Amino acid sequence: MRYLIRFSYDGTSYNGFQKQKRDKNTIQGKIEEALKYINNGKDTKLTASGRTDKGVHALDQCAHTDIDVNITPYKLKRALNSLLEADIHIFSVEEVDNEFHARYMVKKKTYMYRINMGEYNPIERNISYQLCRELDVDKMNKAIKDFIGKHDFSAFCSNEDKKEDCIKEIYDAYIKKDNNTLYIYFTGNGFLKYMVRTMVGYLIEIGLNKRDNDIKERFKETKRSKIRTANPEGLYLYKVEY
């Protein structure tokens, strides 16, 4: 039986989502350990909507898995949560067709980035980027609209992400301010490695009056630009839509 699992996690203590060869602590590794126990000791693969990097969090990550034992979605949810650490939580499990694929069938993804512009907050140091400086939000709001649309994001992704083309489409991008906290949202059909954090880094430089908005010119470049990459702790996989 194939199941769609939705879950959230605090990525602070993990070396990213994706399971790695050298037994590093990962989200996928921890969940697959729990699935193996539930599935009578059989190695059980978890296929996610995408990976998140070290220190990055998720409010709505999605993945599918195939389990041989007869178990209801409710009992699978409870069993997983009983086996996982407190910084990972399964909040939804449902049966899906065997043709369902958590990665290839994604229609939209939304990422959120959280910035503290106020006094340094040690309590939130792992869940919010502690910039602790005032930003020109009006300038950032004007600039972020230039990311919307279908563009070549080669200048805004990691040099490690050498795809044949880096064309992605951003459906929506906006900023919300709540007192001294800034929330930056991007919704698109897919994102490259470090793409969101690089776009945020670019917006931060605009907000600090360290650069003018030349996003449209950057889209003409075929290699990564000299743009800061924002810290991982402020980034959240916010929502996945099928």
Q: Which residues are known to be catalytic?
A: 53
Q: CA angle, 199 as apex, 87 and 5 as ends, to 5°?
A: 35
Q: How far apart are CA 206 and CA 56, in angstroms?
A: 23
Q: Please give the structure tokens belonging to residue 58.
A: 């998720």
User: What are the DSSP calls for 76-141, one per residue?
Assistant: HHHHHHHHS-TTEEEEEEEEE-TT--TTTT--EEEEEEEEE-SS--GGGTTTSEE--S---HHHHH
With CA atoms as reference, report the closest residue to 75 among 60, 59, 90, 97. Answer: 90
Q: Please give the structure tokens belonging to residue 2.
A: 């194939």
Q: Please give the structure tokens belonging to residue 65.
A: 């898995």
Q: Please give the structure tokens belonging to residue 96.
A: 């899906």
With CA atoms as reference, report the closest residue to 64 among 9, 2, 18. Answer: 2
